[in-house]
Homo-oligomer: A and B are copies of this chain.
């Protein structure tokens, strides 16, 4: 669990809710029809914009955004170097057992193809197509949250326009203008909250995760190709560590 994400969201919401309580009491800011038009309307539009399967598929990443764990690049390098050592000592076929141990899908596919003795060009081609398409799928997840971030304020504005027109049409008693306008503004407020305090930061986190996984994927492909071409493990480690920030590099050989 990523303690910072959780604390971040708690702090931000606590401050806003605190302001509401101080402002005019929490109740003033809760208006069920306004919730329905902003939340319901946004969900409806998102379902027009994206196929249902994609929207449901975005719920998994949403959870991951909270349970975020930075990808352990050093661990991946270690695993790949370990297999390289094994392959050089006991032959490529000795990696058959490795294929079963590994859970990361790209590494599993790659090692299997290496064990099967597929041609290097084919191996690289398949792994790169696989990674490209994984990136495409991640982009759709990000796009869903970004579109929530765009449609929620739009629905908020639509709600406010509905309220404003109603208020202006029936403007007899000046004493009702204030409260009517306050209610009209509440949908704009909901739209701003949903966009800036939920959808956009989630989209940002998912996008970061996607580029981290993409870098890990590139590292895995380079590693698999090194194993297949029988590179010296020490040299291979050096090559793969170029993906890691200098300070964080940990070598298996200099320990």
A residues near B, CB below 8 A? 2-5, 7-13, 15-16, 18-20, 22-24, 28-29, 33, 36-37, 40-41, 43-55, 65, 68, 70, 105, 109, 113, 118, 122, 125-127, 129-130, 133-134, 136-137, 140, 143, 147, 150-151, 154-155, 157-159, 161-171, 177-179, 181-182, 185-186, 188-189, 192-193, 195-197, 200-202, 204-205, 208, 211, 215, 235, 238-239, 242-246
Question: Residue on B with the closest CB to A105?
Answer: B246
The answer to whether B196 touches A4, judged by C-beta atoms less than 8 angstroms apart, is no
Whether B51 and A68, one on each chain, are in contact in the complex, defined by CB atoms closer than 8 angstroms, is yes
27 pairs across A/B with beta carbons < 8 Å?
A4-B55, A8-B47, A11-B47, A16-B37, A18-B33, A18-B36, A24-B166, A29-B165, A49-B200, A49-B205, A49-B208, A50-B204, A50-B205, A53-B70, A125-B239, A126-B239, A129-B239, A130-B242, A130-B246, A147-B204, A151-B200, A158-B196, A161-B185, A161-B188, A165-B185, A166-B182, A168-B178
With A151-B196, A161-B189 known as contacts, the answer to whether A48 contacts B201 (CB < 8 A) is yes
Chain B residue with minimal CB distance to A195?
B154
A4 to B47, CA, bound (A): 6
A15 is contacted by which of B2, B37, B129, B133 (Cβ under 8 Å)? B37
Give the shortest distance, in Å, between A47 (CB) and chain B (any CB).
Answer: 3
Pair A33/B19 contact, Cβ less than 8 Å:
yes
Distance, CA A126 to CA B54, complexed state (A): 32
Residues of chain B contacted by A168 (CB below 8 angstroms): 178-179, 181-182, 185
Decide if B49 touches A126 in the complex (CB within 8 Å): no
Cα distance, A56 to B177, chains bound together (Å): 46
In the complex, chain B residues whose CB is within 8 Å of the CB of A195: 154
A4–B137 alpha-carbon span in the complex (Å): 19
Question: Closest chain B residue to A48 by CB distance?
Answer: B201
Contact A133 B50 (CB under 8 A): no
Find A169's partner among B15, B122, B178, B204 (CB 8 Å cutoff). Answer: B178
